[in-house]
Amino acid sequence: MTTPSQSVAIAERRQSVARALGRPVWLTALAETPSDAVDGLDGLTAHIEQTGTAPASIAFEAPGGFAIEAPDPAAAFVGEVALVSGGASGIGKAVVEALLERGAAVVNLDVNPAVAGLFASTHYLGIHVDVTDEAGLIAAMGATAQRFGGLDMLVLNAGIFPPGVRIEDLETSAWDRVLRINLDPNLVLLREAHGLLKQAPRYGRVVVNASKNVLAPGAGAAAYSSSKAAVTQMARVAALEWAKDGVRVNIVHPDQVFDTGIWTEEVLKARAAHYGLTVEQYKRRNLLGVEIKSRYVGNFIAEMLGPLFENVTGVQIPVDGGSDRII
Ligand SMILES: NC(=O)c1ccc[n+]([C@@H]2O[C@H](COP(=O)([O-])OP(=O)(O)OC[C@H]3O[C@@H](n4cnc5c(N)ncnc54)[C@H](O)[C@@H]3O)[C@@H](O)[C@H]2O)c1
């Protein structure tokens, strides 16, 4: 297992290569050991500095037999590495797609074992892990550095939406479960990512997928709303603390996104009936009268990680079709 300090050592070397070359690079095949990765990247920096060349692509074979890829940046995130939690379904999956389309290498953490084979790209690494497993998250961060050389973007997305329960009936165990999945792992991921994000050649970026519930809470969702409010507050503190490192942390608050695992046809029908609406009317119950789809939110989050947001940190953006409870 690659330890946190070994991961940071690899990421530091990757940053040096990027400085010498003028753009970020990936490791494209697994280095046998972390020190092979460090040695290989050091050698590459020296090579670039000596020859003064910035070639379109480099296959630098280190003793451990790994290569480094420094392709021409045809797409926004070429050479950069993203880690997404909960990307086997719904919004997280759409984020992974949007990042791959923009050229990033993506590490996807999910409790669904299908995550491992979800995308065929050589720049995709799916890791089957429960986000409540702290040691598993630390190992995943090490695997990210060892496999691709560092971390540039982090998307905190994994979450559950439990059945509605009013506070007078809310069991402590049900409350705990929501916070254990929706909140606690995000501390671990932020903490473990920080050393790597600090070394990101174009500065690290984080997006937290919170919820409209933070700004406009719903009855029956005390645990969910509290978990999302807490992760929002943690992200705001991270924005304050990490600005000196150039790391940006922003928050997105989607309202209901129906093409996700959180929503079943039965729940949708029941909620629509509760308001005396058809399912179609219920899906568009916002000021603009639009349905917000996971693909839209995925692209939105990818853009928040990109150059358009390079001067923005600590903001919260609702993606909800307009809400008279929030405006
Ligand atoms: N769908 C909505 O209406 C909506 C609205 C606002 C915010 N959100 C938030 O968006 C995020 C993504 O949810 P979604 O709507 O795409 O639902 P989803 O169920 O389609 O996706 C959630 C993903 O998280 C994974 N996951 C759940 N528990 C996990 C665990 N313990 N360890 C690892 N992975 C785990 C699931 O396997 C799944 O792949 C959640 O944080 C949710 O709260 C959803």
Mean pLDDT, each 10-residue run in order, the chain (327 residues): 94 91 77 81 83 62 57 81 98 98 96 98 96 98 94 98 95 98 98 98 98 96 97 99 98 97 91 93 97 98 97 98 97
pLDDT at 306: 97
Query: Atom 19, ligand 1: which residue's CA is nearest?
Result: 261
Q: Spell out the CATH class of 81-319.
A: alpha beta
Q: Best mutation site among 161, 189, 227, 285 for ligand 1, i.e. most ligand atoms within 8 A of its Cβ?
A: 161
The neighbour count for residue 5, using CB atoms within 10 Å, is 9
253 alpha carbon – ligand 1 mean position (Å): 13
Tell me which amino acid residue 156 is: L
pTM as predicted? 0.95
Report the greatest alpha carbon distance in the chain. 72
Atom number, ligand 1, closest to the C-alpha of residue 159: 41
Active-site residue flag, 224: yes
Q: Best mutation site among 257, 301, 326 for ligand 1, i.e. most ligand atoms within 8 A of its Cβ?
A: 257
pLDDT at 300: 98
Q: Residue 204's Cα: distance from chain center in Å?
A: 11
Among 224, 275, 282, 296, the active-site one is 224
Contact 236, 314 (CB under 8 A): yes
Give the residue extent of every domain in the chain: 4-69, 81-319
Q: Is the CB of 254 under 6 A from ligand 1?
A: yes
Closest CA to 207 of 192, 186, 227, 188: 186
pLDDT at 97: 98
pLDDT at 20: 87
